[in-house]
Structures are given as structure tokens and as C-alpha cells.
Structure 1
Amino acid sequence: MKEYDIKITETLEKTVTVKAESMEAAQAKVEEEYYNSEHILDSENFTGVDFSAEAEREIVQEQKEQLDVLLVKPGMYPQAVQIGGELEDLQKAVGGDIEAVYPYNEPVALIVNDEGKLNGSELNRALRDNEGQIYDIVAGDFLVVGLGEENFASLSPELMEKFEKEFHQPEMFVRMGRSIMALPLPDDKVKAADAPLKSESIPQKSSPDRDVL
């Protein structure tokens, strides 16, 4: 399909009678009266319409920017995916309003659900400091994205590989008194991509002081 510019020309005509010394003077007098709004043409003076094609163009579809990012879901291995870079695309990927956090020196951000911990989302991966101590836990699905000059960007192949290794093994979380431990989820309990979690793979509570969250 193409785009076309079509000119529509309507013709209005009106004859007025004036007294003058010559044809040229009569025409000049009517022109002056016309520009002084003494002669108004309206629909009663319509005499015809003409249509003419002016230009032809190919329609160029605007390509939506796609980002190569890492999607990390609870109980699953990370998945390299392509998503749109608009706000609604990021919100859809994590299931709600987003928050960007920057826990690494590399030019990456974690896009998380801003209310993941409040809405009961499943705990996903632990974030650790340089000494390996847990300082936070991400709840719900999250993305690892690159950083551009002004917006989020695709991950480079090197960063994609690095953070796939960083978050490769899904984790289960065990409460020990007031602290929480993150344990690797056994491979036979890892969910296939986009597959529902089987009930028998959900760890059960063992004691009041040792609860699997």
C-alpha cells in the first residue's frame, strides 16, 4: 500500500456588473471591491470540483526499537529475550510498575517490579555485596538491561554471558531465625521456560524456625 497526495479544487464563480471607462478599469475596480469584501462567494456560486494526483510515496513503517536483554524468572534459568524499549514493554515484562536498580559497576540495570515484595510475588534471586553477603532479594520477574547514553539499551554479548552466569542457578530461600539463606535450587526442580511450577516441586515448611519462603 502507498500514500498519495490528491488535490481537491473547488470552483466558485460570480458575475458582477460595474460601470467603468474601460475593461481594464472595470476589472481593477472589481478586484478592489473583492479584496474589500464587497463581493462574497459562497455555495450558491459553486460551479464544479476537480481532483488531481500530486504525489505518490511508499509507506515506511516505523520500526519499534527492540532490546536484547536477560529475563530472570523465579525457579527458571535466565532467558535471553527481545522486548520493546518503551515503558509499557518493560512494565509488561515484569508484571507491573517498574523500578530500576544499579547494583553493579558494569553498565547494566535491573528492572524489577516496584511492588514485587508487597504483592506477594515469589522470591527470585538474592543480591550480594562484594563479600558475598545478601543485602536484598528480588521478588518476581526481573530484567537485566544495558545502559545507553539516555535510555536502556541492549546487553552486549559479553554482558549477556556474564549475567547469565551471575543469575544462572535459580534459588530457594530458607528463613533461619531472623536471617534468610539463599540455596541453589536443584536442577531437577528447575522449571522449564514459561512452564507452570508443579506443586510437588514447592519446598514445604520444616519447622517454625526454618521456613522455606
Structure 2
Amino acid sequence: MNVEQIKETYTEGMTIVLEEMKGEKTMPDGLRGTVKFVDDVGQIHMNWENGSSLALNIEEDKFFTMEEKKMISVILVEPGKYPKKIDIEDSLEAMQEVVGGYIEEYMPFDDDVAIVCNEKGKMNGAELNRAVYDKDGELMDIVAGKFFLCYAPIESETFQSLPKDMENKYREKFRFPERFFKQNDEIKVVPYKPINKEMER
């Protein structure tokens, strides 16, 4: 691909998702950024979401555009960790990889927001993750294993990215990891803060 082709392909404002930038530990897999411009030697100058402005070299770096793969932004919730926003490919295989098995859609909320989890998480002994409550604050269920939250409007046949307001709402709703134990035949749920920095990410 020559310089003119690179300029035509990677236009200003296009969203790029990084897969690998050699030698740059501060540029992780999955980092997103927007194209500023392509210079006269074919480097793609970027505004990365971590504040970096490092340019991409199409011969050395691995990346893809959001247009090349249908991606959705979801909130990943793991046992013992704070929730985090991730981008995943809008495919069954990618979703199964995230939750570690066949997926199950669970919609206990008034909003069109789905919990997508491993359908056999509890049967397989996955670690208990987060509690789900009804409108009156009564415990309805406990999700086992990793899950993600996405937008699932009734008129759509596919999962979609969470709108910003719902992203903030559900990140806060599931913010703290939880421990579970029985007391007087009742299940008690105790939120806690992750122990170390690694768990906070």
C-alpha cells in the first residue's frame, strides 16, 4: 500500500483499535484512538484514548478499524475486579470467548440492558460474581463467572454498544466486587474493594 492509498484508507476521525505496537508497553491491546492525519511517509498520526499521540506504522504495527470489524462497546464484570469498558467483536465466537462458554442473555432490568453470561457458569462451579436485585431491593439471583453488559433494545436482533448514560449507570451499579455467605438460612452479600491495583483494572 503506497502513501496515497494509506491516506485514502485512513481518514481523519476514523476509529482504530490497536492489537500490537512493538516495544510500547504503554500501548495495550484493545486501546482505541482516532486518526488525525497521514503524513507524507505514510505514518498514521493518532489521538489515543490514553492521551498518547504515537503514530502507527502499517508495516510494523497491528491494528484494525471499527469499520473493518463490527465492534460493540460493553462493560465487562469479573469476580474480584471493578467493571471496565471493553470493545468486542459482534460475533457469537467473540462473546463466548469473553464469558468462557456458551452465552446466556439475562434481562432483569427496566432498561434495555442485557447481562450476557456463561449459561453453565453455576453448574461448572464458576466463582460467584455479582448479585442482581429486584425493584424492592430483594435478591433475585447471583451471576457466576465473568459477564458483560450490553444494550439490547427489543426491536434489534443483535446486541449493541451501551449508550453513555447507561454505561455510567451500570458501571456504578456493579462497581464493587461482592462476597457471598449464608447466615441464618439467608444469603448475605458484602461488597468490597479489590485488594491490589491489578484487580482495579
**TM-score, normalization: structure 1?**
0.59
**Structure 1 runs (4+) greater than 3 angstroms displaced:** none
What number of residue pairs does the alignment pair up? 136
**Gap change, CA 1:77 and 1:190, over 3 Å in 2:** farther
CA 1:145–1:188: 2 relative to 1, 3 Å: closer
* Cα contact 2:80–2:199 (8 A) shared by 1: no
Tell whether the 8 Å contact from 1:67 to 1:82 is kept in structure 2 after alignment. yes
The equivalences for 1:12-161 within 5 A come to 63-148=68-153, 149-161=156-168
- Check whether the contact 1:75–1:190 (CA below 8 A) recurs between aligned residues: no
In structure 2, what is the Cα distance between the partners aligned to 1:190 and 1:141?
19
RMSD: 2.1
CA distance in 1, matches of 2:186, 2:92: 35
Q: 1:176, CA displacement in angstroms?
A: 1.4
Residue 172 of structure 1 pairs with residue 159 of structure 2 = no
Determine the C-alpha separation between the residues in 1 that align with 2:149 and 2:112. 10
The amino acid across from 1:94 in the alignment is V
CA distance in 1, matches of 2:76, 2:170: 10
Cα 1:142–1:160 shift into 2, 3 Å: same
Q: After TM superposition, give the deviation of residue 63 of structure 1 in Å.
A: 1.2
Write the distance in 1 (CA, Å) between the matches of 2:119 and 2:184: 27
More helix by share: 1
Cα distance in 2, alignment partners of residues 193 and 73 from structure 1: 9
| 1:7 counterpart residue number | none
CA distance in 2, matches of 1:141, 1:79: 12
Aligned 8 A contact 1:170 1:190 in 2: no
Structure 1 unaligned segments of length 5 or more: list them: 2-60, 196-213
Q: Which structure has the larger Rg?
A: 1
Query: What is the aligned partner in structure 2 of residue 189 from structure 1?
Result: 195
What displacement does 1:189 show? 2.7
Residues 117, 148 of structure 2: 8 Å contact kept: yes
Q: TM-score, normalised by structure 2?
A: 0.63
3-state SS in 1 of match to 2:81: coil
Cα drift, residue 188 of structure 1: 5.1
